[in-house]
């Protein structure tokens, strides 16, 4: 299948939840509603013609001025070399929450923890929602644009 | 009587050939050239400086240079300092090779406390000295490992070449030779003078 056909199939399956799509660009993407992310990715993974069974990356972007946080999933296929798709979901910046896809991809576990660590996105249903890299008692999420650098950590001055 | 005396003297000559030619009445010649006169302090310092056992851990790219220094090309073992120990209980020298984050700094401090005296610290590379390239915008990088533990030798570079690390080892050996035997190392270090906040 071409990426156009994949997106058309997806739109016919989820007519209300695909907000935007661009299958032609260098990095083909679709934009989806965050509440249905699990079902959409499950369909993309388990459909034998699409077979996006490989999770490359989960990351996030802080759109400070638009007051929202974007979570990006990069999926690709092992069987079909040309199949690759990025899935964007926009969340409210004050309380970013999105369903976890740990049940679909084992690799999602650490990626979601890292996104939580650096951007503060809560992944609902994640089995172990702790910080990944920073200490457990760290304050703030460093990849946010309005992040304030700490003055000290456990008595050791930052500057 | 004369037979037994000859047997004894023969045995003595076999075990210690020096006694035959040396004059036993002169102290310096009593044992030939097998005696060196020195002070206990110099002797222990020589022993300590000649068998520095570093701790085997690295934090970033400086550790690659440290491995190259320990390998055959530069051969850190020429200075007796390449027996890398995987346990802090067996090591004398902590080479902080790489970026120290706040999370790692507390582990480093604990490792330092687990090392037996006498113990020395060598901060290798810009990151361990003052944060290096992360000194301005590294939100999680400690601006110098001397905020956690006392550092004896600083080896600048990003990363330092193996020759520089070897020179650091040589400088550390000079430092060890200067220190006095019965003085605890941690008493020599004054945390208030050398860094803002260290061992409280």
Three-state SS across B20-84? Answer: HHCCCCCHHHCCCCCCCCCCHHHHHHHHHHHCCCEECCCCCCHHHHHHHHHCCCCCHHHHCCCCC
pLDDT, position A82: 87
Query: According to the model, what pLDDT value does residue A154 have?
Result: 87
Q: How many domains does chain A have?
A: 1
Q: Are residues A158 and B139, on separate chains, in Cβ contact within 8 Å?
A: yes
At B11 the three-state DSSP class reads helix
pLDDT value, residue B8: 52
Q: In the predicted model, what is the mean pLDDT of residues B44-68? A: 92
CB A70 within 8 A of CB A88: yes
The arrangement of secondary structure in B40-180, i.e. its CATH architecture, is: 3-Layer(aba) Sandwich (3.40)
Q: Which residue range forms the structural domain that includes residue A40? A: 3-157
Dist. CA B153–CA B172, nearest whole Å: 7
Location of each CATH 3.40.50.12280 domain in chain B = 40-180
Q: Tell me how far apart the alpha carbons of residues A52 and A86 are, in angstroms, rounded to a whole number.
A: 11
Which band of pLDDT confidence, cut at 50, 70 and 90, is reported for residue B11? low
Residue-wise pLDDT tens digits, B178-197:
877 666 555 444 445 444 44
Instruction: Give residue B200's pLDDT.
Output: 36
Residue A26 has pLDDT above 70, yes or no: yes
**Cβ B136 vs Cβ B184: under 8 Å:** no
A142, A156, A157 ranked by CB distance to B139: nearest: A142
Q: Touching check for A150 and chain B: CB below 8 Å?
A: yes
What chain B residue is nearest to A153 in terms of C-alpha separation? B102
Helices B162-178 and B40-50: crossing angle in degrees, nearest 10, is 160
Give mean pLDDT, residues B21-40: 68
Nearest Cβ partner for B197 among A134, A149, A157: A157
> Poorest-confidence range of A1-15, A87-101, B5-19, B163-177?
B5-19
The distance of B143 to chain A (nearest Cα, Å) reads 7
**Half-sphere exposure in the Cβ direction for A151 (13 Å, CA):** 0
pLDDT of residue B82: 85
Angle at which helices A3-13 and A37-46 cross, to 10°: 130
Could you give the count of Cα atoms lying within 13 Å of B155 in the half-sphere of its Cβ?
28
Q: Is the pLDDT of residue B3 over 60?
A: no
| Token pair listed for B37 | 């006169």
Token couple for B118: 């006498």
| Separation in Å, CA of B91 to nearest CA in chain A | 26
Alpha carbon B182 to its chain's center? 17
Question: Does the beta carbon of A137 lie under 8 angstroms from any beta carbon of chain B?
Answer: no
Q: Is the pLDDT of residue B28 over 90?
A: no
Of B61, B53, B165, B58, nearest in space to B120 by CA: B53
How many Cα atoms sit within 13 Å of B135 on the Cβ side? 12
The average pLDDT across A42-47 equals 91
Q: How far is A48 from chain B (nearest CA, A)?
A: 43
Tens digits of per-residue pLDDT, A120-159? 999 999 999 999 999 999 999 999 999 988 888 888 888 7
Alpha-carbon Rg for chain B, nearest whole angstrom, is 24
Is B143's CB within 8 Å of A159's CB?
Answer: yes
Q: Is the pLDDT of residue B16 over 70?
A: no
Identify the CA nearest to B115 among candidates B142, B143, B144, B86: B86
Distance from CA of B100 to the nearest CA of A (A): 12
Q: Which of A77-81, B111-115, B175-179 is predicted least confidently?
A: B175-179
Least confident of A49-58, A97-106, A148-157, B99-108: A148-157
Cβ within 8 Å, pair B197-A155: yes
Full strand arrangement of the beta sheet holding A68-76: A18-22, A29-32, A84-92, A68-76, A54-63
Secondary element (H or E) of residue B129:
helix B125-130
Helix (H) or strand (E) holding B94: strand B93-97
| pLDDT at residue B69 is higher than 70 | yes
Does residue B23 surpass a pLDDT of 70? no
Compare CB distances from A154 to B106, B143, B196 and report the shortest one's residue.
B106
Sheet holding B120-124, edge to edge: B93-97, B120-124, B153-155
B142 within 8 A of B100, measured Cβ to Cβ: yes
Whether pLDDT at B15 is above 80: no
The ipTM of this complex is 0.79
Q: Which residues contact A105 (CB under 8 A, 6 or more apart)?
A: A45, A55
Position A86 scores a pLDDT of: 93
- CATH code assigned at A88: 3.30.460.80
């Amino acid at each position: 299948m071409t990426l156009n056909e994949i997106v058309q199939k997806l739109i016919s399956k989820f007519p209300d939840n695909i907000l935007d799509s661009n299958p032609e660009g260098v990095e083909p993407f679709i934009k989806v509603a965050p509440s249905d992310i699990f079902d959409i990715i499950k369909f993309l993974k388990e459909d034998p013609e699409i077979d996006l069974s490989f999770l490359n990356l989960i990351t996030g972007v802080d759109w400070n001025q638009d007051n929202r946080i974007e979570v990006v999933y990069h999926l690709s296929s092992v069987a079909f070399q040309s199949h690759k798709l990025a899935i964007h979901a926009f969340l409210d910046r004050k309380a970013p929450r999105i369903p976890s896809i740990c049940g679909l991809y084992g690799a999602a576990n650490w990626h979601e923890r890292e996104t939580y660590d650096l951007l503060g996105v809560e992944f609902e249903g994640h089995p172990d929602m702790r910080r990944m890299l920073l200490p457990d008692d760290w304050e703030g999420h460093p990849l946010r644009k309005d992040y304030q650098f700490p003055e000290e950590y456990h008595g050791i001055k930052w500057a | 009587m004369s037979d037994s005396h000859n047997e004894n003297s023969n045995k003595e000559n076999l075990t210690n050939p020096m006694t035959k030619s040396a004059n036993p009445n002169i102290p310096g010649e009593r044992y030939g050239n097998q005696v060196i006169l020195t002070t206990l302090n110099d002797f222990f310092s020589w022993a300590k400086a000649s068998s520095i056992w570093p701790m085997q851990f690295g934090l970033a790219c400086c550790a690659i240079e440290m491995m190259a220094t320990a390998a055959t090309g530069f051969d850190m073992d020429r200075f007796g300092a390449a027996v890398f120990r995987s346990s802090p209980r067996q090591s004398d020298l902590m080479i902080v090779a790489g970026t120290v984050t706040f999370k790692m700094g507390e582990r480093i401090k604990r490792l330092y406390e687990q090392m037996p005296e006498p113990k020395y610290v060598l901060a290798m590379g810009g990151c361990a000295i003052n944060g290096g390239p992360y000194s301005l915008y590294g939100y999680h990088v400690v601006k110098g490992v001397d905020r956690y533990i006392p550092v004896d030798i600083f080896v600048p570079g990003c990363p330092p070449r193996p020759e520089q690390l070897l020179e650091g080892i040589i400088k550390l050996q000079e430092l060890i030779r200067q220190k006095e035997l019965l003085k605890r190392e941690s008493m020599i270090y004054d945390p208030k003078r050398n860094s803002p906040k260290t061992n409280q």
